[in-house]
Structure 1
Amino acid sequence: MCGIVGAVGTGDIAGAVFEGLRRLEYRGYDSAGLAIVDDAGIIEVAKAAHARTSLAELKDSVDAFDGRGARVGVGHTRWATHGAPVLVNAHPHLDCTHRVAVVHNGIVENFRSLREELLERGHRLVSDTDTEVIAHLLEEQLVDEAPDVALASVFARLVGHMAIAVALADHPGLVLAIRRTSPLMGARSVDAEFVASDVPGVLHRATEFFEVPEDEVVAIGPEAAGLSRARRLEELVRPQISWTSQDVELGGYASFYEMELAAGAEALSQTVASLVDVDGSAIMDALDVDPFELKRIRKVVVVGAGTSYHAGLVGRFAIEHYARVPVEVDVASEYRYRDPIVDDGTLVIAVSQSGESLDTIVAVREAMAAGARAIAITNVVGSQLARVADGVLYTRAGPEVSVAATKTHLAQLAALELLALWLGELRGVLFPEEAIERRRALGEVAQAVGSVLEQTEALGATFRELASSQRFFFIGRNVALPVAMEGALKLKELSYLPAEAYAAGELKHGPIAMLDREAVVVALVPADRLRPKALANLEEVKARGATLVAVVAGEDARVTELSDVVVEVPATPPLLFPFVGVVPLQVFAGTIARERGLDLDRPRNLAKTVTVE
């Protein structure tokens, strides 16, 4: 959650930090704030706490900083964890002397005991946050220690996963940063150096990027050269970032959600192209796992959260079908607490758009500690998950700004499908020719997704008629069930309406009691052997008077006869139905939310990346 930016350089540093916060707003928008160290060695702070309008309000204050000669700035956009989203809890937080400014992403788990210690020693703490204790602890350490040593000393006392950036009034050419698990990267332009929570926060200025290691102080700015305990950017690993600032601009669309939804076919196509050679063979060079080990795995565990979890559920069908190995799929936040059975015959596949989801990272670490091998599927090169796992498959969806995932979900499905085919080939379940044929079929499904996206405007016009409905149910069988789950999640994320997903066969075991003329049921109907059973479920829904929306693969006269709304998608092999089946549900959720006057990019209470437990 939360987005932090630090910058040292020439020119409009306050403006550069503000622009970074604007581009990181998807990480949290409860409040926003910025601090500079001006040419008189004074820390000046501006804050705003009006939810989605916070940055607009903050802009006026930032403009007033112009001409102050600041070379240092730190900023923060907040997703509240400790303390209400009010002005006093907005970052940056200062110490008693107003000589230390701290921005922080994550949770200081032992902050209450640290706060009590500080109060006993006479410190004045004014907020309800966990972050403020960091500033006051630094105030004490800086009396006797150099800045980098002081930050390392304070960080050693903090329990939890976090990233911190610090500006100091006595060092107007320095920003210090440190992290544990939570994301943080370094960057450089011709006239400035940066730290930021995510790549989009610095794309507008930076030309070089750097991986910030865990538990090590990193220093940026001209004063970094004089520090003994801190690492400078040039000492760090440089990941290959291919994104550009144009990738995070709206490009004529009303929202990032709509723009990214429209890019789904391209994201799918690019991901397939990166993992399949021209001859149809698999490209798995980034998997630093001995193929012999993969041949002898006895179990696969897929972990993820939210949309990534739903992708994992689809992946289970592909892996079990193609590789004939049992698969468990777990919500990452629950996995390590159920005492899972893991050994050296276990392969863990961790799915995360950002590669920074804390629960997923922790789950992978614990499984690897028990002997498992781990493969990450992520959209961000050099992300924490990519570094923790044994190997990584990168999706090639480009940056995704909207909190609700669209194109990255399709790319995740593609990566899982291709991994399943490769495992099947490796384990001798599939002949190479069979695997090649299926990879080519996956490449062709991008065209099918494109044909569905061409219907976006027409689908939106149809779905608008349902915007006044208050209760939604999504049903599917087999591989269509995770699609139903993703559709329900999208509608909840964007419209805040009750939306539940059920296995269609479970309707008679309770959920059917909730169906009446006020309910809307969205049914997923692939072209598979279960279609007769799906038709029986549609009959049951129709008999209870609910409005029935059917997403059906290919033409089906009986589905059309039973349904109030029919969305026909291209017929595909059953295991590929999720690619074409999920797109109308993404359009559906966006349409309902837009008709209700809601923000498609910044749904309430949510953040794009969850970096706290």
Structure 2
Amino acid sequence: MCGIVAYIGEREAYPIVLKGLKRLEYRGYDSAGVALYGQQGLQVYKKKGKVSELEDFVAGKDASAHIAIGHTRWATHGEPSDRNSHPHKSQDGKLAMVHNGIIENYMQLKQELLNQGHTFQSDTDTEVLVHFIGEIKNSNHYSTEEAVRIALKRVVGAYVILIIDEDDPTTLIAARKGSPLVIGVGKGEHFLASDASPIVEYTKEVVYVNDYEIAIIRKDELILKNIANEIQSPYIQQLDIELAAIEKSGYDHFMVKEIFEQPQTIYDSLRGRLDAKKGTLTMGGIREYASLLKEARRIIIVACGTSWHAGLIAEYIIEELCRIPVEVEYASEFRYRNPVVGKGDVIIAVSQSGETADTLVAMESAKEKGAIILGVCNVVGSSIARLSHAGAYTHAGPEIGVASTKAFTAQLAVLCLIALKVAEEKGSISQQRFQYLLDELDSISEKVATTLKLDAQIRQVADKYKDARDFLFLGRGYNFPVALEGALKLKEISYIHAEGYPAAEMKHGPIALVDENLPVVFVATRDANYEKIVSNIQEIKARKGKVIAVVTEGDTSIRSMADDVIEVPACDELVAPMLSVIPLQLLAYYIGVLKGLDVDKPRNLAKSVTVE
């Protein structure tokens, strides 16, 4: 949600920042802007709409500079407009600032500033903050760095801010709390961004800024201080992503590229951890806490969106294998209902980005109460990874498409490994069953590759139902959360109303929706609930509903009833969701494409939700 890019060095800054903003378009935004210091002093250019519209607006204007900050905005305070776009300036026009996050006490600060004679050009909390910093600087004759440090002691909320000061155009000031910021370290230059995608083509050396840290950046110097003004030692890490990972590589969209990457990303999630031939499972990220995990009185999974669906499947897996009670909570609700959490509880926080604000707040609350925190996320060095006691990376690589696909199956793979490891440590699983599931996981990447060969068939199904106004997705057991995920993908990508339900609950209300125009997608691979879901399909057909069924290869019973059948390879029901979700991802993708929609950047959505 929102994107930040900046450059300081000897190169022309504007082209680097502009390209970086394009790299961050996947995060979701409604306007874009840049501030730079050149021969004409401090200049700000910003426009509602796409980065390309900003590019057209700046064309022909003087954009020559060696320092620049850029921003893509996802509206929170004030509608999408030119005037609400970032960057914003201080009252005297000397400071230009971009900001990710939300300042919760901005109205109080704004009233104070209005009383002091300030006037505002926008409706944003960001303009209030830059005015506040400027007021502190000018009234006390402080440096910008000192003014930022003092101002942030008053601020309530989340932020990453970047500031250019017209009086000191050789320095960038940055600060962070609760929103990501990475600094790329080059030779005589520095790059700043919300994530590594705008940086990777220039340098592999990066510093992840921590909460409550302020960075003072010059072309050949990086100084980190905490909010108490104490010097911190920057920890330089090596990026492990390649430029090709954030390019389309010949695919029409990032979403379909990432769907087809899943055989590899699942394999990468298992690689180095699972050795089916030796019958071993190594989870280094949770080794120190293995004994506490097996003794956990309960496990609470906190997540949002697609990650919440992965958590629901993990609930089934953990309870079956480990015999530990599991609750799955929306992170956005967890903190505010005053949950009963304490020692002996384990919190598993699941997030693609590792920066999901709701999930981070839930983790902080549980950690304060003595719970053990495990993080499952995709981004090395992310906030969730650093806040956790232990955990595991999914190693899915950058996911650019806003609608999560490969991150979901990678999360399932890692959560399954964690459950198996705890079950092994606890002795709640037989050696025979343990080995069987290792073998099943070992073969899942190949089976996903086989499922992806159904691409053309699924496109035909999509073409048949692309004009439907509503969809119903049904599943039982492990496939119920898959039905939820399928419905979510279709809503995100095609803007068609879709609902996911446990198939048995269909009779308790949703069956009233069924008529000859309603497509009903059944996730009906062979498992312990198979006979029950066959009965549910019959109930839909008796009411003339259109049935699309995802079934196990060789199924004849459902084929005789369904209007359209998609077969996936046979596998154990614990790992089946990694297969059965693939056709639903492709169905959503192709319906969106056939409707002429931007499937990589669906309306109103943001990739990384960094505000509550």
User: How would you bin the TM-score normalised by the shorter chain?
Assistant: over 0.9
Q: Following TM superposition, by how much is the alpha carbon of 1:59 offset from its aligned partner in structure 2, in angstroms?
A: 1.6
Q: In structure 1, which of residues 68, 71, 75 is the aligned counterpart of residue 70 of structure 2?
A: 75
Q: 2:186 aligns with which of 189, 193, 200?
A: 189
- The amino acid across from 1:96 in the alignment is Q
CA–CA distance in structure 1, aligned partners of residues 395 and 591 of structure 2: 29
Q: Does 1:259 align with 2:257?
A: yes
- Count of aligned positions: 608
Alignment pair present for 1:105 and 2:96: no
Question: Per the alignment, in what secondary structure is the counterpart of residue 210 of structure 1?
Answer: strand
The residue number in structure 2 matching 1:600 is: 599
Query: 2:419 aligns to what?
Result: 420
Instruction: State the SS of the aligned residue for 2:22.
Output: helix
Instruction: Answer whether contact 1:71 1:172 (CA < 8 A) is retained.
Output: no
> What CA distance in whole angstroms lies between the structure 2 residues aligned with 1:65 and 1:233?
40
Q: How many Å apart are 1:456 and its aligned residue? A: 1.1
1:340 counterpart letter in structure 2: P
**1:55 matches 2:51:** yes
2:539 counterpart SS class: helix
Q: Is 1:455 aligned with 2:454? A: yes
SS of 1:171 mapped into structure 2 = coil
Match of 1:95 in 2: 90
1:155 to 1:338, Cα distance in 2 relative to 1, 3 A? same
Distance 2:457 2:553 in 1: 18
Distance in 2 (CA, whole Å) between partners of 1:486 and 1:228 is 43
Conserved 8 A contact 1:194-1:220: no
SS at match of 2:18: helix
**Equivalent residue number for residue 581 of structure 1:** 580
Amino acid in structure 2 at the alignment position of 1:524: V
Q: CA deviation at 1:13?
A: 0.8
Aligned equivalents of 2:453 and 2:54: distance in 1? 39
The within-5 A match list for 1:383-532 is 383-431=382-430, 434-532=433-531
Tell me the distance in 1 between the aligned counterparts of 2:482 and 2:560.
23
* Partner residue in 1 for 2:283: 284
Aligned to 1:141: 136
2:15 partner letter: G
Deviations 1:556-612 (A, max 9, x none): 222111111100111111111101100000001011111111001000000000011
CA distance in structure 1 between the aligned counterparts of 2:371 and 2:354, rounded to whole angstroms? 19
**Partner of residue 563, structure 2:** 564
- The secondary structure found in structure 2 opposite 1:376 is strand
Q: Give 1:228 deviation, angstroms.
A: 8.0
Name the amino acid aligned to 1:153: I
1:365 to 2:360 alignment:
no
Q: Secondary structure at the match of 2:110?
A: helix
Matched, 1:219 2:216: yes
CA distance in structure 2 between the partners assigned to 1:500 and 1:233 by the alignment:
52
1:236 equivalent in structure 2: 234
Indicate the SS of the match to 2:76: coil
Deviations 1:499-540 (A, max 9, x none): 001110011111100111111100011211211110100001
Determine helix, strand or coil for the equivalent of 2:310.
helix
The DSSP-based 3-state class of the residue aligned with 1:400 is coil
**Structure 1 residue 204 and structure 2 residue 201: aligned?**
yes
Q: 1:466 offset after TM fit, Å?
A: 0.7
Contact 1:322 1:421 in 2 (8 A): yes
SS in 2 for 1:337: helix
Amino acid at match of 2:517: E
Q: Partner amino acid for 2:412?
A: L
User: CA separation in 2, counterparts of 1:349 and 1:525?
Assistant: 28
Mapped pair 1:128 → 2:123? yes
Change (3 A) 1:216 1:400: same
> How many angstroms apart in 2 are the aligned matches of 1:189 and 1:577?
45
Deviates further, 72-81 or 435-444: 435-444
**CA separation in 1, counterparts of 2:590 and 2:91?**
50
Q: How far 1:415 sits from its partner (Å)?
A: 0.3
Deviation at 1:203, TM superposition (A): 1.7
Structure 1 distance, partners of 2:100, 2:246, is 22
Q: Deviations over 1:110-157 (max 9, x none)?
A: 111111111111112110011001211121222211221111111111
Q: In the aligned structure 2, how far is the partner of 1:431 from the partner of 1:577? A: 21
SS in structure 2 at match of 1:44: strand
| Shift in alpha-carbon separation, 1:226–1:187, aligned structure 2, 3 A | closer
**C-alpha distance in 2 between matches for 1:222 and 1:209:** 15
Contact 1:280 1:437 in 2 (8 A): no
Identity of counterpart residues, as a percentage? 39
- For structure 1, list consecutive stretches of 5 or more residues without a partner in the other structure: none
- Whether the 8 Å CA contact 2:180–2:383 is kept in 1: the answer is yes
Q: How far does the alpha carbon of each residue in 1:71-99 deviate from its partner, in whole angstroms, 9 at most, with x for none?
A: 21111001100100011000000112221
Q: Judge conservation of contact 1:10–1:192 (CA < 8 Å) in 2.
A: yes
Instruction: Give 1:97's aligned amino acid.
Output: D
Shift of 1:292: 2.3
CA distance in 2, matches of 1:222, 1:187: 11
Other-structure match for 2:2: 2
State the distance in 2 between where 1:303 and 1:373 align: 13
Task: Report the Cα distance in structure 1 between the residues aligned to 2:337 and 2:154, rounded to whole angstroms.
Answer: 29
Q: Report the Cα distance in structure 1 between the residues aligned to 2:233 and 2:351, rounded to whole angstroms.
A: 28
Task: Please provide the CA RMSD for this pair.
Answer: 1.9
| Shift in alpha-carbon separation, 1:67–1:135, aligned structure 2, 3 A | closer
Runs of 4+ in 1 over 6 A off after TM superposition: 225-234
Determine the C-alpha separation between the residues in 2 that align with 1:357 and 1:397: 17
Deviations 1:180-227 (A, max 9, x none): 111111112234202211111222222211110111211111485799
Does the 8 Å CA contact 1:32/1:49 hold for their aligned counterparts?
yes
Shift of the 67–91 alpha-carbon distance from structure 1 to 2, 3 Å rule, reads closer
Give the superposition deviation at 1:437. 3.6
State the 1:67 CA deviation. 6.6
Letter in 1 for 2:6: G
Determine the structure 2 residue equivalent to 1:548: 547
Secondary structure in 2 aligned to 1:557?
A: coil
Which of 19-28 and 227-236 deviates more? 227-236
User: Structure 1 residues 280 and 167 mapped into 2: Cα distance closer, same or farther (>3 Å)?
Assistant: farther
In the other structure, the counterpart of 1:166 is: 163
The alignment partner of 1:303 has SS state of strand
Give the aligned partner of residue 269 of structure 2: 271
Partners in 1 of 2:309 and 2:70 — Cα distance? 34
By how many angstroms is 1:291 displaced?
2.5
Of 589-598 and 275-284, the range deviating more from structure 2 = 275-284
Moved more, 465-474 or 432-441: 432-441
Cα 1:67/1:571, change in 2 over 3 Å: closer
Structure-2 change in CA distance of 1:520 and 1:225 (3 Å): closer
Shift of 1:486: 0.1
Q: Is this contact kept in 2: 1:300–1:325, CA < 8 A?
A: yes
Q: 1:228 to 1:543 in 2, by over 3 A?
A: closer
What's the CA shift for 1:315?
Answer: 0.6
So what's the TM-score if we normalise by structure 1?
0.96
Contact 1:276–1:439 (8 Å) recurs in 2: yes
Describe the shift of the 1:3–1:226 C-alpha distance in structure 2 as closer, same or farther (beyond 3 A).
closer
Instruction: Write the deviation string for residues 231-257 of structure 1: whole angstroms up to 9, x where unpaired.
Output: 999932234421011110011111100
What is the CA–CA distance in structure 2 between the aligned matches of 1:226 and 1:387, rounded to whole Å? 21
Cα shift readout 1:310-334 (whole Å, capped 9, x = no counterpart): 0000111111111111110111111
Please, what TM-score do these two structures have when normalized by structure 2?
0.96
TM-fit CA distance, 1:359 = 0.7
